[in-house]
Structure 1
Amino acid sequence: MHLYWTRLEDEQCSLVLAATDQGVCCVGITLEEIQEWGSKHLGDAELVEAPEKMALYKSQLQEYLAGERTIFDLPLDLKGTPFQLKVFEALQQIPYGSTVSYADIAEAIGNPKAVRAVGGAIGKNPVLIAVPCHRVIGKNGTLTGFSSGIPLKKKLLTIEKVPFKD
């Protein structure tokens, strides 16, 4: 099995994108993150730099970062526990330019008492932006944790013209 990757350098951010033959599986800040994710979820998959294979993924992310794309049309190859996969599915239902709370996601997956577990699952989201965990904020409108850092979360919400409290 191969884990294909490429870099996306943009004035908004710098990302490393990775995909299997089934679809995008990981978007991170560093190649080390991608390697770590690959080792954990794909075992001995060969890491292959493949800009041509990643061109569709890269172009859709560039369009998003330029404010030209609001919906992703990418095959995803999400890995995680059944609970995490439910959370990732709920994240994909958050419309562009909107935010929800962790409690809203817990409610959406039919487990309203699992707010902390939802937060843990969101923190393990491997596909930044296309699985929009950046759209989850605190109940009071404040920005809460983001695995790739609050500055990137602010940039993404600003692209979507979402008001938030600093």
Structure 2
Amino acid sequence: MAQTPVETSTPSSSSPIDLSGEAGWAPFDAPALVGESLRFVSGEPDGNRFRVRYYRDSEKHLHARIWFGPETGGPPGHVHGGAVAAVMDEALGLAAWAAGYSIVVGNLNVSFRTMLPLEQVVTLESRVISAEGRKVKVHGRLFCGEAVYAEGECLCITIRGK
């Protein structure tokens, strides 16, 4: 089933920002799962920094559509690596939570593949790749079409008593 586009206006132009998901993706209410901890990246859905909408597919893998606004700038015309890492931290940690693991991220490794232009909508796909004892590993990829901007892997540690 096709998703209804979620559009907001961009501060630098009058064209809308389409953060709709792919066919077969269901909107995912991330704040309802983890609460206010998502404020840093996805807490301002109409801001000039990040705009993020989360989805899950039929296999329950987490996906996101992300717009990196002008306030995420680094090299001229491109997104700062720290902004990419922040999105990876939130999305990969959230993927573990969405899979049923109450975790904190213990280690995050981001490999930058190519510079990401500002004000472009990209997709982040993530999935839990292993779980052993208290350790949960999650992999993610930030891309648009054939262009892969970054890949990340995090080691998450389950929170005792949760």
Report the TM-score range of the alignment, normalised by the length of the smaller protein. under 0.3
| Structure with the larger helix share | 1
| Structure with the larger strand share | 2
TM-score (structure 2 length as normaliser): 0.26
